[in-house]
Amino acid sequence: MDAWDIVKIVMQIFGGMGTFLIGMKMLSDNMTRLAHGRLQKMLNKTAKSRFAGVGIGTAMTILGQSSAFATVMVVGLVNAGIMTLFQATAVIMGANIGTTLNAWVIALAGSDITAFFLALAAVGVFITMFSKSERMKSLGNVVAAFGLIFVGLKFMSSALTFERGSDAFNTVSQILSAIKDPMLLLLLGILITALVQSSTAVNAIIITMASLGMVIGGGGNAPLYIIIGSNIGTCVTALISSLGANPNAKRAAVIHFLFNLFGAVIFMIVLVCWTGFADTVLAGIFPTDITVFGKEGLGATMQIATFHTLFNVINTLLFLPFIKGFVWLAEHIVPDRKKKAGGSAIFDPLDDRLMRSPSVALDFLYQQTGKMFSYAMDTMDTSFGGFLKKDTDVAETVATHNADLAEANRLAVSYLVKISTASLVTEDERTVSTLHYVLNDIMRIGELADNVTKYTRHYVSDELIFSDEFLQMIGAMYEKIKRLYGLALATFLSKDPAKLAEVDALEDEIDKDRRACVDRHIKRLNEGKCQPQNSGVFINLVGNLERAADHITYIAHSIE
């Protein structure tokens, strides 16, 4: 074998790996689209028990086709305050189990069903091209992605397919068997996985070599050391993702690393002491000459898939009772730090990690928008209370609140733009458009609150006098606005239209109250019972309150 032959083999392996990873990415993206809305519902169940968390983590990884997908999502959710460290630890353990499914799929790639999966690429493309339904297009992409995964595996397999006993076969075998030290094999698995950012890709290479009968590191337990290393190497993705996050998010990434590290230590000790583990246990489960789907000699590939599953399932069973211990250790490794100045006084951190699942990111932003709505109404409460008390000092508080709202609005719009660039289902596209309008309505409420502080200033500086009757009328009107807000917020957060009729009826009452206030004021002017200089403040005040009620109503109706 000359140098050019080696270059061609390496290029074909990398080409196959690239096709494989593209297929995995397509599968992850489109499985997430098909699971629209379900991820958030699953995440809401993690608080019930550690077992539920493991199940959710497993499901998330299967849907996202990557443990990195699940763990980076968990880091983002912890950073956003949606998930506790206790919940995150259980989900991370489940994610490690979920990723073992990929090893089984890869192990079957050498069977006679490979041709069927290769044909899926064409079938999936046709489904995507001729379907009008978004769901069917996503389904077509999933089918095509499975095909690409097997095309990639076929490329890697053919690159290493040599006639047994040939010079090429012997050369490659000598290279593979050169490293026999368990620790070096472990480090090799860590390094390669850290570089390609995918333990699945590393497993694919090891399984492909095993399917061709190539001996790695002298055989026996040697391939298993690389598999253990790949489980540690995959933690690099989450650790890198946690950089710049809050301490709890960093702790989640550390817990992921500790889980795999402790598991690796235990399994390394067992395998080093029990050198015949692969030949005794794994070969006992799947003999080397076993026939799988019409293909003989796939026992070696099934053994590696079995070990990958055993590694993660046994570690989860061992460590699940000690979740609090993992949390305690992570809290000591990553201590609390003082909060830095800046950011939004309203929003929890808007974490880009959540963008791995746009529907989860959008749901998070939706909840944050509800917080903005509440903050804007608190601003209006402060402003109106200042008017009733003739307190001009509240203007400073209102101005600060509006500055907070402006910063939160900037962050929210920026986040919406990022979400818009993702591949969204139609329902999410409508939600993005809706939130743009809702954010505008929230800002208008803050501006109207600022207007009320100006009327308070005139009220005090011009020494205006308003009758008790007037103050009672606007007080009653504002109480209805507060009731309207409560109904609107509940309707917006629940997306339940059941209360919209009540919202509309109350908004009509507020409109009538404004007209009644103005009519009563004009009548009092004509009777000489009211000062003419009061008119500007009076009419503008009730007009601004009524406009605030309009924007509150618009927010309630945004769910339609």
Q: Give the pair of three-digit tokens for residue 119.
A: 């044909």
| 557 pLDDT higher than 90 | yes
- What confidence score (pLDDT) does residue 505 get? 93
| 438 pLDDT higher than 50 | yes
- What confidence score (pLDDT) does residue 358 get? 76
Domain ranges for the chain: 3-333, 352-557
CA atoms lying within 13 Å on the CB side of residue 515 = 6
Q: Which tens digits make up the pLDDT trace of 13-56? A: 777 777 777 776 776 666 666 655 555 566 655 556 778 778 87
- What confidence score (pLDDT) does residue 445 get? 95
Q: What percent of the chain has pLDDT over 90?
A: 24
Reported as type and span, the H/E element at residue 30 is helix 3-34
Q: Which tens digits make up the pLDDT trace of 204-253? A: 777 777 766 677 776 778 889 989 998 898 888 778 767 766 787 788 88
Judge contact between 372 and 439, C-beta under 8 A.
yes
- What confidence score (pLDDT) does residue 283 get? 83
Select the highest-mean-pLDDT range: 172-176, 409-413, 458-462: 409-413
Reported as type and span, the H/E element at residue 175 is helix 167-177
Buried-state track 445-471, b at ≥16 Cβ within 10 A, e below 16: bbbbbbbbbbbbbbbeeeebebeeebe
List 295's β-bridge partners, or say none: 292
- Give the number of other CB atoms < 10 A from CB of residue 523: 11
pLDDT band at 437 (very low <50, low <70, confident <90, very high): very high
- What confidence score (pLDDT) does residue 163 get? 45
Please tell me the CATH superfamily of domain 352-557, with its number. Answer: Phosphate transport system protein phou homolog 2; domain 2 (1.20.58.220)
Q: Give the pair of three-digit tokens for residue 185.
A: 């094999």
pLDDT band at 550 (very low <50, low <70, confident <90, very high): very high
Select from 145, 326, 339 the least CA-distant residue to 253. Answer: 326
- What confidence score (pLDDT) does residue 177 get? 67
| 69 pLDDT higher than 70 | no
Q: Which residue has the higher pLDDT, 554 or 537?
A: 554
Mean pLDDT of the chain: 79
- What confidence score (pLDDT) does residue 533 get? 64
Instruction: Please name the residues in contact with 20: beta carbons below 8 A apart, sequence gap of 6 or more.
Output: 148, 149, 152, 153, 155, 156, 201, 204
Give whole-number Cα distances, 80 to 74, 351, 354, 357, 372, in Å.
10, 6, 9, 14, 16
Give whole-number Cα distances, 241 to 75, 323, 328, 508, in Å.
8, 22, 21, 51
Judge contact between 255 and 89, C-beta under 8 A.
yes
Judge contact between 62 and 101, C-beta under 8 A.
yes
Q: What phi and psi values does residue 61 have, to the nearest 5 degrees?
A: -70, -40
Q: State mean pLDDT over 374-382.
A: 94
- What confidence score (pLDDT) does residue 345 get? 60
- The residue count of the chain comes to 560
In sign, the C-alpha dihedral spanning 521, 526, 531, 534 is positive
Q: Give the angle subtended at the CA of 443 by the CAs of 539 and 369, to the nearest 5°.
A: 135
Q: State mean pLDDT over 364-379.
A: 90
DSSP letter for 291, please.
Answer: E
Judge contact between 488 and 556, C-beta under 8 A.
yes
List 292's β-bridge partners, or say none: 295
| 389 pLDDT higher than 80 | yes
Give whole-number Cα distances, 116 to 111, 143, 180, 272, in Å.
10, 11, 37, 40
Judge contact between 225 and 127, C-beta under 8 A.
no
| 126 pLDDT higher than 90 | no
| 10 pLDDT higher than 70 | yes
- What confidence score (pLDDT) does residue 471 get? 82
| 266 pLDDT higher than 90 | yes
Q: State mean pLDDT over 472-477.
A: 88
Q: Which residue has the higher pLDDT, 534 or 430?
A: 430
pLDDT band at 554 (very low <50, low <70, confident <90, very high): very high
Q: Give the pair of three-digit tokens for residue 167.
A: 């010079």
Give whole-number Cα distances, 43 to 30, 46, 360, in Å.
19, 5, 9
| 6 pLDDT higher than 50 | yes
CA distance 80 to 544: 35
Reported as type and span, the H/E element at residue 276 is none
